[in-house]
Amino acid sequence: MQIQPVELDGCYCVRGTVLDEDSGNCVPESECQTTTEKMCQDAAGTMRQSGERWDVDRCTWCSCQRQQGDRPPSVVCQQTKCPDPPECPDTHSLVRKDNGEECCPVFECGERKF
């Protein structure tokens, strides 16, 4: 039985190499990072994909960020910076206007009732 070559459109890596999704290049299989090497583990133990972003609480979010070179990705978290409440004139008082479910409270100056 003779095998006939078949022409296919597209781009392929030669035998012994695989496509590196980060660089878009074919690399030797021995240099290919495993899927878990491209992931982060959050504080709860959940594995996160590189580039993934998630909320920890209503004021904090984290992401799995790639590092330069061959270093594995790491979890980077940031907390929302809330604006300072407005300064009210003596004839007004500070009134909270949000329902308490958002990260940052919302205030406005309301007229004082004497």
- Give me the domain span that covers residue 113: 82-114
More confident residue, 54 or 111: 54
72 & 92 share domain: no
In a domain, 31, yes or no: yes
In a domain, 3, yes or no: no
Q: pLDDT by residue (tens digit) across 24-55? A: 888 887 776 555 567 889 999 999 988 899 99
Mean pLDDT over residues 70-85, rounded?
90
Q: How confident is the model at residue 62 (pLDDT cuts 50, 70, 90)?
A: very high
Identity of residue 49: Q
In a domain, 1, yes or no: no
72 & 101 share domain: no
* Predicted pLDDT at 61: 94
More confident residue, 16 or 76: 76
In a domain, 7, yes or no: no
pTM greater than 0.75: no
Taking CA atoms, 82 is separated from 12, 15, 27, 60, 97, in Å, by 50, 55, 46, 12, 15
